[in-house]
């Protein structure tokens, strides 16, 4: 049997990470088995499934490197076929007509009245339900439009889908879908229901917990390779301790029997760490261009510094950057004197008693140095700290905030030398006024 899987979203705007996670698992399984990965756009909601929403979906899939092996199927083009199956079910007695909403006759699928219904899920194992717990359900509305359950099953049959890999919010639907397959006299696909993605509280992950749409992560500067890798590990593991994996390594290791049935927790810190690992593996010219683009978008001019300084800034900032969205905020002070100060840093490092006098003394000391180098600036601060009997620690933190507005960043003395003596001393004196 040649594997055929599908990703069947209902595009209504942004693409949720839970939906694209399902697409990733389908894509990996198709590539692992040498099968086909198909796209079915369930666009029967004509008000919400706009051309713009469909374009957003296709752009996201292209960004993540998942293209369909066959032309996309648009569910709205298959309505006649859906209704044909419904009429055949009525004729066979596996469905009947009934006025359920007072607006006209619907077509209703007939469920078994007794016994136990069950199926084997490729992830969750054997799932059972008593027939009396399941009610007959509408498959064609009174206005003549097919319901999701009917359209989903007919399309899966006609597309020759062998495995349906989707979220476990569809487990209950599967009993209905299997009944339609029986009514059609067709062999159903193998079902595999993926665990829910949850937040740190164990609740379904949503936009209330932070970025929840692929477009959000793209805008923040996450890399598609990192997001793909991270989402692939939400509910699946390769069987060893690997976390950073190439696309080829994931394809080779992926199988449904390694998917987990328990909920998968979305850990933004892990994703950010993973993105930093991918970012640092990019070619230097790619990183250079990305930094320039982000700085320009933030109203900063990379050309305001010499090539030598620019490359030194990159050397300092690349190891400290986990997502491109951190640029220009984490290095704006290299390119402008009009940079933002962290209010908490000001309060903690510049307001304490005695800081004003220390900063003035540092400025005077730096101005008197014969040369402004890594060695001379560090030696000067150490000597000054000893003379004040406070140690270098009482000077390092206020100086960093004074010249960068931040409590964290690259090595202080590397930063000072790149900024230059004149700019550093001017900022120290400006910070004195802020501390006063």
Residue with tokens 């009610």: 135
H/E run at residue 105: strand 105-109
Q: Burial level of 171, CB count in 10 A (0-12/13-18/19+)?
A: middle
Q: What tokens does 366 get?
A: 């730096």
Instruction: Please give the Cα distance from 338 to 341 (Å, whole number).
Output: 9
Phi, psi angles (nearest 5°) of residue 198: -125, 165
Instruction: Please give the Cα distance from 367 to 427 (Å, whole number).
Output: 13
Task: With beta carbons less than 8 A apart as the criterion, state whether 78 and 152 touch.
Answer: no
DSSP for 286-349, please give it: HHHHHHHHHHHHTT--GGGS-HHHHHHHHHHHGGG-SSGGGTTTTTGGGT-S-----HHHIIII
Any long-range contacts for 123-128 (C-beta under 8 Å, 24+ apart)? 123/168, 123/192, 123/193, 123/194, 123/195, 123/256, 123/259, 123/260, 123/261, 124/168, 124/171, 124/193, 124/261, 125/261, 127/171, 127/174
Instruction: Please give the Cα distance from 399 to 381 (Å, whole number).
Output: 10
Instruction: Please give the Cα distance from 302 to 135 (Å, whole number).
Output: 66
Task: With beta carbons less than 8 A apart as the criterion, state whether 37 and 26 touch.
Answer: yes
Instruction: Please give the Cα distance from 207 to 289 (Å, whole number).
Output: 31
Is 207 an active-site residue? yes
Task: With beta carbons less than 8 A apart as the criterion, state whether 172 and 236 touch.
Answer: no
Instruction: Please give the Cα distance from 338 to 360 (Å, whole number).
Output: 21
Phi, psi angles (nearest 5°) of residue 82: -60, -45
Instruction: Please give the Cα distance from 177 to 167 (Å, whole number).
Output: 15
- Alpha-carbon Rg of the chain, whole angstroms? 30
Which of 103, 129, 203, 207 is flagged as catalytic? 207
CB atoms within 10 A of CB 436: 9
Task: With beta carbons less than 8 A apart as the criterion, state whether 405 and 339 touch.
Answer: yes
**Residues with active-site annotation:** 207
């Amino acid at each position: 049997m040649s594997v055929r899987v599908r990703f069947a979203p209902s595009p209504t705007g942004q693409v949720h990470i839970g939906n694209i996670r399902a697409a990733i698992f389908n894509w990996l399984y198709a590539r692992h088995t040498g099968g086909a990965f198909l796209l079915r756009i369930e666009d029967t909601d004509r008000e919400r499934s706009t051309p713009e929403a469909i374009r957003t979906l296709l752009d996201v899939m292209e960004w993540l490197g998942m293209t369909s092996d066959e032309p996309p199927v648009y569910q709205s083009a298959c309505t006649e076929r859906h209704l044909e199956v419904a009429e055949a079910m009525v004729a066979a007695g596996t469905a009947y007509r009934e006025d359920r909403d007072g607006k006209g006759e619907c077509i209703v699928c007939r469920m078994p009245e007794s016994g136990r219904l069950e199926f084997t899920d490729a992830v969750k194992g054997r799932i059972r339900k008593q027939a009396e717990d399941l009610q007959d359900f509408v498959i064609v509305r009174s206005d003549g439009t097919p319901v999701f359950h009917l359209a989903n099953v007919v399309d899966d049959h006609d597309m020759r889908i062998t495995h349906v890999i989707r979220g476990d919010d569809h487990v209950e639907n599967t009993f209905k879908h299997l009944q339609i397959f029986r009514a059609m006299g067709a062999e159903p696909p193998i079902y595999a229901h993926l665990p829910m993605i949850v937040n740190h509280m164990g609740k379904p992950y949503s936009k209330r917990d932070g970025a929840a749409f692929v477009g959000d992560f793209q805008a923040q500067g996450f890399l598609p390779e990192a997001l793909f890798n991270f989402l692939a590990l939400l509910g699946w593991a390769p069987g060893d301790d690997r976390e950073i994996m190439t696309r080829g390594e994931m394809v080779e290791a992926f199988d449904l029997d390694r998917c987990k049935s328990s909920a998968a927790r979305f850990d933004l810190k892990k994703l950010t760490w993973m993105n930093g690992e991918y970012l640092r593996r990019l070619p230097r010219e790619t990183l250079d261009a990305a930094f320039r683009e982000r700085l320009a978008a933030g109203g900063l001019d990379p050309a305001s510094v010499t090539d030598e300084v620019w490359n030194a800034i990159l050397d300092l900032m690349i190891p400290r950057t986990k997502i491109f969205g951190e640029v220009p905020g984490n290095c704006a002070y290299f390119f402008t004197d009009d940079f933002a100060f962290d209010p908490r840093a000001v309060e903690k490092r510049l307001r304490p008693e005695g800081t004003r006098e220390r900063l003035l003394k540092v400025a005077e000391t730096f101005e008197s140095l014969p040369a402004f180098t890594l060695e001379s600036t560090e030696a000067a601060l150490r000597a000054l700290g000893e003379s004040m009997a406070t140690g270098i620690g009482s000077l390092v933190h206020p100086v960093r905030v004074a010249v960068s507005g931040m409590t964290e960043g690259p090595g202080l003395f590397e930063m000072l030398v790149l900024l230059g003596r004149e700019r550093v001393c001017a900022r120290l004196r400006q910070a004195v006024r802020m501390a006063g």
